[in-house]
A and B are shown apart, each in its own frame.
Chain A
């Protein structure tokens, strides 16, 4: 019981941390002018797939 409680707590903490990181990233991007928010292009790789 205790073990699953701690697993659930870890899951919640991870989700909260991930959400916080996303908001920070969005705020950093919004602080830039639109013409500087250009690092979004992935490149196709030969044989399929893509990379940043």
Chain B
């Protein structure tokens, strides 16, 4: 056997995918032949000879990339090979295409992969806006259009916004809490590699008979249970994205709870850490619901289980209840990490401690609790039990309170500050405050049952979700990318191009999404390939601004790629921030710290004379002793400490 097929890596992964796919295909053919069934079942929801390989091929890929090597050896009772850390850290660009256990490598893998899907989803949005620029059908026919808006949302939600936050936190969070790595580095690497599987399954649906899945990202039954083959790819893609998300959340929880540096109690954690703690609490409990409900749809499609078939006793509305029990918390999964980023950026670039730090942390937990109690506000007109509407309305409106606390605290932080307006990260944070307040206000309106009855399922909804997901989440993502770019790459980006990117994005965003409120209230439903002529003018305006918004992102790509390659070298702490990740070199050493830092104060002590957040191990006069089992051996023999805890 050639070495490339024995050593874990991309070659073995592709080979594994082939073997896995062939195995799944053979299994279906053989079992159907034995059972005397028609070998290829090609009614449009069927295709077991495609669905089963769509499960086994990604698993084969994951085995091939090396995701299970260590565990399989261990499970088989073979002697474990002493870890030589050869899978840890990036020594050349090739290491980014391998199974790598270094949280910093994984963070960059996540970010680059998710931005690839961001641009794929963005391109799809451009095609949609081209079609919608005029009433009638010009660019794509309605069937294709329905696939476009479904894949746009699926890519943006499941393989961009949710995982890019996991990527940023993966890079930053262990450094912030003074940990040498995540708690479970191998699980971390496996979590990452499940992500491209999800994105590829979503995109692969374009290549199957019947075209891409086109029941919307919500995949409401029974439209989804009767949809062509592509829908199964959505059902399966969500499984990989969901499993990735849950495993990462568990990893964050264990890391945050057990691996904080000595002295970092909960009230000394940076708010980004609080935010990811809260997000992870949502992910571990909510995500299994969407995984489950997509399996139920898949089983209805392939195994005739009839969960959602009303004619034979299934319950159509239960799909929506289970789906939104995940998907409402999911909007906070897509927002809380951004809240964390904004707190870090505003505090650093305004040179101020975060106003009301403890209430900010408690507000995050308040959102976590409340977000489990509001899901049915997506169903006010669904025909669900009518008495459920008022309590869900009250909890929905109440969730505005902790969110408002955060907005007011950020605003108060700006007072008496030294506000660095030329920083792109800060501009995106300030832009976020404005757009998110608008999205929050339209959210409160939508929470009110009588108003929701009118605007539900119209362009008002499209406007609202893009104000909170683009003006909210994506702005915070850009803020985070710009803020930590020097730390991640060791290079500075071009602030001038960054500002151009920000202003073009802001104008494009407002011009695209503000008019959508108006046409929605006037009567334009969402998810339509065509619309009545009265909305034509505004749609043309929206499309033009959307193209500007799309073009603005090219400035970002250019800036990132060129700066990564040719930008001036970054110092360890270009923003003069207080948190620990800025106290190590840019980029940080492979094992983060020679000695674990000791935390002696809050994370945002700007302007407090003599205040310190952490004392680094190599500082003169600091006598840092390894204080927890997690860092035992850190002082051993001049080498690097082991990259993982004993867990």
Partners in one complex: no
